[in-house]
Amino acid sequence: MKGFPEDFNWGVATSSYQIEGAAFEDGRGESIWDRFCATPGKVANSEDGLTACDHYHRFEEDIQIMKQLGVTTYRFSMAWPRMFPKGDSVREQRGFDFYDRLINELLANGIKPLPTLYHWDLPQTLQDKGGWANRATVDAFAQYAAAAVEAFGDRVTEWLTLNEPWCVTWLGYMNGVHAPGVKNLDHALAAAHHTALAHAEASRAMRAVRSDLRIGLALNMTTYRIEDESDKDLAELGDLMDAQLNRWWIQAFLTGSYPENLMKIHEARLGNIILPGDLERLKVQTDILGVNYYSDSFIGLPRAEDKPLIEEGLFPFPHRMNGSAPGPYTDMGWPVTPVGLEELLLRIARDWPEIEDIAITENGAAYDYQPDESGEVNDIRRIEYLLSHLEAAGRAIEKGAPLKSYYAWSLMDNFEWAEGYNKRFGLVHVDFKTLKRTIKNSGKAYSEVIAASSRALARN
Ligand code: FCB
């Protein structure tokens, strides 16, 4: 694949709640996703992560599949309620033991582990006290992060703190489509601030345990397309949405500030949330910027039903895409827009030259392909998605973007949050009745890309 240096990290990504199952085994505590799934009407077909891919019991098999694919690194997440079932300081050793086994097995197979500490499965007991809207969650998270580094920092030197704090904030606490299903602007703004603070405080707590770590976080980012650039209102709306999604967390860790346009709109509310001294504490050394990229977002003229939202200081969520998004679309209804990935990577390099290591921590597409009579899964549109995005990433590298790693979302089909099991993102097919795994043709295509790049390495 053109553009990729020889030491490039080729990976796949997953997250704990989406694959592990064993939801109440070995002392694991309840998470907000267990509670959300058990609440009628929240998740498609009332599905849940109780069994998921049963990775908890099958991780050795899954690591062999990764080895077959030839990946050099694996991004997974640790379930906080497995290690601290109630989110306090009482440890569950069996939870630590599971990640110990997982990490050792990865290393024994030559695969570098990249854990994410928080990929959405908050201990329910913390949500009972307000969750991310409650400032105390910041300290609880920093303690948990430090304990994870104490346990695994001898073998794991690269870490991500939070996954997609935008989704945590705006889907979890404002429009309520994700756990904990809260719909409250004060809670959302508190979560926006507390997740940024949590990244900073956890990074410091982790470095206090070991100074040699490389720490980052994974943000969902997009390239916005504005339908009519000459429309002043639309341009302003686009800038607000860009601030809310692309700039809030980056600006926090780089400069200890938040975008001015949002500070102004939410001034009164944020005044009660951001305490004196907080802004300085937001700034923190961040070694890796993880970018989760799926598609561009299209902003069109607000529809009548959007107007009251905008007046309240809220903006239509990007996936509402009330602009006209060109096809083709994936099963999520997201448009396929590889050029936007190239532009996003170049924009990061241009706007934030301090960032020296970008990782695409997620990229992928939902398409429902099942095994044919011969057992083959010929997921041709996923192959096209994967290769076109890799080509875009390669072009961005050639033009100077400091991209060091790529993680395909996802290793295998899994529990896709509010969408349940119907949206299949895997390079590996999972039969959710038998839990049988089958490498799809996209997995084979990815493995060829990786092999070709390591052959280049071997030639030198
Ligand atoms: C991202 C999530 C990830 C997965 C993909 C499709 O927002 O981080 O867990 O569900 O979307």
Which residue has its alpha carbon closest to ligand 1 atom 9? 15
Separation between Cα atoms, residue 13 and residue 54, nearest integer Å: 16
| Least confident window among 294-303, 339-348, 409-418 | 294-303
Q: How far is residue 319 CA from its own chain's centroid? A: 16
Pocket residue to mutate for ligand 1, from 14, 164, 170, 361, most atoms within 8 A of Cβ = 164
- Residue 130 binned pLDDT confidence (cut-offs 50, 70, 90): very high
pLDDT of 459 > 80? The answer is no
For the chain, the first-to-last Cα distance in angstroms comes to 17
Catalytic residue among 164, 201, 342, 416: 164
Tokens, residue 383: 């192959």
As a whole number, the mean pLDDT across the chain is 95
pLDDT of 237 > 90? The answer is no
The pocket around ligand 1, CB under 6 angstroms, is made up of 15, 18, 163-164, 167, 220, 292, 362, 409, 416-417, 425
Residue bearing the bigger pLDDT, 258 or 324:
258
What is the distance in A from the centroid of ligand 1 to the CA of 408?
11
Is there a catalytic annotation at residue 362? yes
- Residue 292 binned pLDDT confidence (cut-offs 50, 70, 90): very high
- 180 prior amide bond cis, ω within 30: yes
Q: 87-123: per-residue pLDDT in tens?
A: 999 999 999 999 999 999 999 999 999 999 999 999 9
- Tell me what pLDDT residue 28 has: 98
Which residues 6+ apart lie within 8 Å of 279 measured at CB?
Answer: 256, 257
What is the distance in A from the centroid of ligand 1 to the CA of 277?
33
Across 357-378, average pLDDT: 98
Catalytic residue among 47, 158, 362, 416: 362
- Tell me what pLDDT residue 323 has: 61
Angle at Cα 302 formed by Cα 296 and Cα 307, nearest 5°?
A: 130
Pocket residue to mutate for ligand 1, from 331, 417, 421, most atoms within 8 A of Cβ = 417
- Residue 53 binned pLDDT confidence (cut-offs 50, 70, 90): very high
- Domain residue ranges of the chain, discontinuous segments joined by +: 9-459
Q: 31-40: per-residue pLDDT in tens?
A: 999 999 999 9
- Tell me what pLDDT residue 313 has: 62
User: What pTM value is reported for the model?
Assistant: 0.97
Is there a catalytic annotation at residue 260? no
Whether the Cβ atoms of residue 54 and residue 435 lie closer than 8 Å to each other: yes
Where does residue 256 rank: exposed (0-12), middle (13-18), buried (19+ CB within 10 A)?
middle
Separation between Cα atoms, residue 74 and residue 67, nearest integer Å: 10
Task: Quickly name the fold that domain 9-459 has.
Answer: TIM Barrel (3.20.20)
